[in-house]
Amino acid sequence: MKIGLISDTHGLLRPEALDALRGCDHILHAGDIGRPEILGALRELAPLSAVRGNNDEGLEWAEALPETLQLELAGVGIHLTHQANQVPADLPPSIRVVVFGHSHKPRIEECDGRLWVNPGSAGPRRFRLPIGVGLLRIEDGEARAELIELQLTPT
């Protein structure tokens, strides 16, 4: 199973991000979405699970989104949230992957037997951080992640 990971779009869904996520079986958005149209565009590509980020607070359309979500895809438990520091210390053992955003810093790290993935920001550039998305591949009950830095078309 190929799962697309995206975060921190902040109202900007780049065509390069859509291209990178095309062909995914499911997409996870880790918050700071910015506009409801972004969720609609992602749903056109694949089933979508999304959480609300701190910049989505107070937006009427975003109130329906949870702050955290636990789901199972291809037999692997995934915890989806916006901020890594809000992940509870007592996650159930079935959660083997944590997907988060917020910092705009792409990261893949193994910690305490769990894979932690931040796909970075797919929206407006912040400082000199890359613009990107991620992929989570689950095969035979094993999860592995990769980061994709988007090659932006000059405007």
Domain ranges of the chain: 2-149
Q: Taking a C-beta distance cutoff of 8 angstroms, is the pair 29, 50 a contact?
A: yes
So what CATH class is 2-149? alpha beta
For the chain, 155 residues long, give each residue's pLDDT as a single digit of tens: 999 999 999 999 999 999 999 999 999 999 999 999 999 999 999 999 999 999 999 999 999 999 999 999 999 999 999 999 999 999 999 999 999 999 999 999 999 899 999 999 999 998 889 999 999 999 999 999 999 999 887 65
- The Cβ-side half-sphere exposure at 57, using a 13 Å CA radius, reads 5
Burial 68-99 (b: 16+ CB within 10 A, else e): bbeeebbebbbbbbbbbeebeeeeeeebbbbb
Count, residues in the chain: 155
Q: List beta partners, residue 135.
A: 4, 146
Comparing CA positions, the residue from 108, 118, 119, 122 lying closest to residue 8 is 122
Question: What is the model's pTM?
Answer: 0.96
130 burial type by CB count under 10 A (0-12 exposed, 13-18 middle, 19+ buried): middle
Sequence-distant (≥ 6) Cβ neighbours of residue 139 within 8 angstroms: 1, 74
